Amino acid sequence: MFHRHKFLGSDTNFLLNLIDTPGHVDFSYEVSRSLAACQGALLVVDAAQGVQAQTVANFYLAFESNLAIIPVINKIDQPTADPDRVKAQLKSMFDLDPSDALLTSAKTGHGLEQVLPAVIDRIPPPPGKSTSPFRMLLLDSYYDEYKGVICHVAIVDGALHKGDKICSAATGQSYEVSDVGIMHPELVTTGILLAGQVGYIVSGMRSTKEARVGDTLHHTRTVIHPLPGFKPAKQMVFSGLYPADGSDFEALNHAIERLTCNDASVSVTKESSTALGLGFRCGFLGLLHMDVFHQRLEQARSLTHVISTVPTVPYIFEYSNGSKLQVQNPAALPSNPKYQLVACREPTVIATIIIPSDYVGPVITLCAERRGEQLEYSFIDSQRAFMKYRMPLREIVVDFYNELKSITSGYASFDYEDSEYQASDLVKLDILLNGQPVDAMATIVHKSKALRVGRELVEKLKKFIDRQMFEIIIQAAIGSKVIARETLSAMRKNVLAKCYGGDVTRKRKLLEKQKEGKKRMKRVGSVDIPQEAFHELLKVMFRKVYEDVHLKLTYRKPFNEDRIHILASKFCRDMWLVLTHMLPLWELLCMPSTQRSGAPLLLIYLKSQLIGIIIEPQDAETLAALARAQLNQQNDGQQACHPNPDDDDLRDDDLLDPANRRRTENIAVPMNRNCPFRARPDRQAVQFELNNDKYGMDGVGATGAIIPPPLSPGAKFNITSTMIELLHLKGLFGGLPGDDPYMHLVNFVTIYKSFDNPGVVQNAILLRLFPLSLSGEAILWLNELTPDSTTIWRQLKEAFLERFFPPSRSVHLRDEINNFRDSVVASSAASVGMTMEYSMPPCRDFVLGVDDLPPQPIDPENEGVSHA
């Protein structure tokens, strides 16, 4: 666009190239390409929502490209807009000067007049020279039916004229420029492009594949240094596309070719499947990219229906002979390989999540379910939490974002960047119909999820496959081990219908003949798998593991082994707790079983476990929380304990065969073992490797004021959603006038003590957990502490008390205590007629270890015990 602006005292016309970048994570590749053509970026932040995960990602892309960044706080017209909070976030997260931020409303037009002048004043002009040899960067390309391939280019040096002969630095191919111009925003022919300008060229390229994004183009007669360019777009999600009707293959081929003309980032290779016939394996940048492609494909009028297989990610399998196999299609992975498998690796991503602090617990649970490893956790301000996770790409390819949005009422923002491959325990899960593997349904899953996925898949398939005249056996298998099986019985014709009474041998003969026929049909008959089965398969593989898990507790009377099952009440998002107040002082035994609504019981643990004693009805809630904490902890950290026989199945190949299933006498055996749900079989802990500085968790300033101490080698500490929920249950400390810092410390340490973390230094846990027990003003206080100033719990505790329990309050309290003590001692002594020793009730000591006691707000010499 052209803009007139007063520059050096006179009105000057400026040509500005504005590039709108996509907001979705899948297209961050396009954002980085656009940034390469720019000298500055407008970082637009919603005044009501504040900094989002995409803002963080895009800021760093612009920052790393050395661009001038102008923060723009938009939507200030909204009633919930809070520009000051957003300014503070920009300062704390990116060190951007709040006074540089422009306040705008695109709706009302308020403040928009400042934007273009700021662009001209703050963003430098392009650095290229018109007199240098011509070089230009190819930014993008698309196919136009009339003009052919149109390339978007940025002229870095020199000038380009219509009719010039240009050459690609990547391929050496030469072209003649038949048209050149700018986007205004339509294509406007100018006949020339000068250094610094962004525009388009038409040069007779036959397909977009020739236009390599990131390529340097130059005049054929000159020798130049190629520009740095970009890494090629990396396809991260692969899916097979097959025509539902085999005769549509050519139509599908044509439709895919047409679509890829305008989207060179889709990779396409032909493949064939015994179940689905000829088709294509396509690679996409991400899930949205894949969805958009699928939808466009379905809109192609010539196609009736397209079957898309489950999306998968590229895995690497390493064998004992040193060979490596990159697998984009699970069917291509040998189920019984010739050489021994030595390692499997899967791609991971670094996910950035920003959420309101109220949703921290559910989000941590979700990430743990998806095998995420927490790398960073902090607060942007008093209301928003910032988290970084390393997650297997496979776990986010389907439905992660949707689920994240739904558990956070739509407030979460999420972004990710590719990270390294990491070792993982992966297995190929085959689906067999009458002993024949269905290659399109093969999938690669984490070993801990294989049994669940296998069971659910065969159950679903049983529902969706039509019954035939012969029996269909549906099996899920890992290698040669069958881990789940369902049988779809044959439809049966009454072959005896025509026999009116009569000879039993003839009837038996007819039945035998029918049986033989069915056996033969089973061998030769084919089974149709409807598209719904593929959809269901997708849902099963990525559905939450823990949906609808019900929890059941039992009480045990002291000295009495009778167990009583008691009433249930909904306890949290995915659990039901069986609890009643009627039995004071009975031991509360932990989760011997789970239950689905109306379905039979399934076991979580072989052994009940004492988790506490109910003293008063109101304690039931606390104990329930502790019970849940304990359950989570066991599920989180103690996979080696094999408390669940089903979990044993997952680790022991022998047990994968249902025939080998162990059952124990003292377990309440479910009436119907068909129910596939097991409670939390593969829940993963959020691992903080505190002694590992790889992720910068303990690096300087990484956790603000706090530097947690290193752990002994091999020790690990897990922050679970339960810990956070317990902290919330007890109440966060907000620093309000009525809040009691001592009581908060007591509660906090009580909760901390309910978690057993052998081998982990107390300091490490306390320093990690304590910030999570704060809110509002207290978080602001924590953020204002000198960075890296706190290395031990006592320091933090003292700083906390100093801030929220100032000396004046201590003096007042001490006077009160002394007055109270004097009056008690006087009245007691009077009543028994003698001098007696009196001890302050050690109300805090019985819950806290001595080391954990908060310093008392009284004089040291009077502390704890007083004397008559």
Ligand X SMILES: Nc1nc2c(ncn2[C@@H]2O[C@H](COP(=O)(O)OP(=O)(O)OP(=O)(O)O)[C@@H](O)[C@H]2O)c(=O)[nH]1
Judged by the rule CB under 6 A, the positions of this chain that interact with ligand X are 22-23, 74-75, 77-78, 105-107
Q: Which is nearer to ligand X, 22 or 117 (CB)?
A: 22
Q: Is 21 annotated as a binding residue?
A: yes
Q: Which is nearer to ligand X, 78 or 783 (CB)?
A: 78
Q: Give min distance, CB of 116 to ligand X, in A.
A: 16
Q: Which is nearer to ligand X, 74 or 448 (CB)?
A: 74
Contact 32, 214 (CB under 8 A): no
Q: Is 274 annotated as a binding residue?
A: no
Q: What is the rounded CA–CA span in Å between residue 174 and residue 176? A: 7
Q: Is 435 annotated as a binding residue?
A: no
Q: Is 612 annotated as a binding residue?
A: no
HSE at residue 192, side-chain half, CA atoms within 13 A, is: 5
| Helix, strand or coil, per DSSP, at residue 738 | coil
Q: Which is nearer to ligand X, 328 or 352 (CB)?
A: 352
Q: Is 76 annotated as a binding residue?
A: yes
Q: Give min distance, CB of 23 to ligand X, in A.
A: 2
For β-strands 267-273 and 277-284, DSSP reports them as antiparallel
Q: Give min distance, CB of 410 to ligand X, in A.
A: 14
Q: Which is nearer to ligand X, 22 or 479 (CB)?
A: 22
Q: Is 22 annotated as a binding residue?
A: yes
Q: What is the rounded CA–CA span in Å between residue 148 and residue 189? A: 16
Q: Give min distance, CB of 26 to ligand X, in A.
A: 11
* Radius of gyration in angstroms for the set of CA atoms belonging to the chain, rounded to a whole number: 34
What residues contact residue 740 under an 8 Å CB cut-off, 6+ apart?
A: none
Q: Which is nearer to ligand X, 78 or 173 (CB)?
A: 78
Q: What are the backbone angles phi and psi of residue 687, rounded to the nearest 5°? A: -95, 125
HSE at residue 379, side-chain half, CA atoms within 13 A, is: 24
Q: What is the rounded CA–CA span in Å between residue 636 and residue 541? A: 21
Q: Give min distance, CB of 690 to ligand X, in A.
A: 37
Q: Give min distance, CB of 605 to ligand X, in A.
A: 47
Q: Give min distance, CB of 293 to ligand X, in A.
A: 18
Read out DSSP for 647-690? HHHHH-GGGGSGGG----TTS---S-TT----SSTT----EE-T
Q: What is the rounded CA–CA span in Å between residue 598 and residue 672? A: 12
Can you point out the beta strands (E) in 195-340?
198-202, 216-219, 237-243, 267-273, 277-284, 306-308, 315-319, 324-327
Q: Give min distance, CB of 45 to ligand X, in A.
A: 10
What residues contact residue 36 under an 8 Å CB cut-off, 6+ apart?
A: 65, 137, 139, 154, 230
Site of tokens 């009105």 = 11
Q: Which is nearer to ligand X, 413 or 622 (CB)?
A: 413
Q: What is the rounded CA–CA span in Å between residue 713 and residue 223? A: 57
Q: Which is nearer to ligand X, 77 or 621 (CB)?
A: 77
Count Cβ atoms within 10 A of the Cβ of residue 20 and give its class: 0-12 exposed, 13-18 middle, 19 or more buried.
Answer: exposed
Which amino acid is present at 776? Answer: G
Q: Give min distance, CB of 77 to ligand X, in A.
A: 5
**Residue number, nearest CB to ligand X:** 23
Q: Is 74 annotated as a binding residue?
A: yes
Question: Of the candidates 732, 741, 734, which has an alpha carbon nearest to the alpha carbon of residue 776?
Answer: 734
Q: Which is nearer to ligand X, 108 or 674 (CB)?
A: 108
Q: Is 322 annotated as a binding residue?
A: no
Read out DSSP for 21-51? PP-SGGGHHHHHHHHHT-SEEEEEEETTTBS
Q: What is the rounded CA–CA span in Å between residue 259 and residue 248? A: 17
Contact 127, 157 (CB under 8 A): no
Q: Give min distance, CB of 106 to ligand X, in A.
A: 4
Q: Which is nearer to ligand X, 82 or 725 (CB)?
A: 82
Q: Is 152 annotated as a binding residue?
A: no
Q: Give min distance, CB of 75 to ligand X, in A.
A: 4
Contact 763, 679 (CB under 8 A): no
Token pair recorded at residue 333: 């992975």
Q: Which is nearer to ligand X, 37 or 533 (CB)?
A: 37
Q: Which residue ranges make up the annotated binding site?
A: 20-24, 74-77
Annotated binding site for GTP: 20-24, 74-77
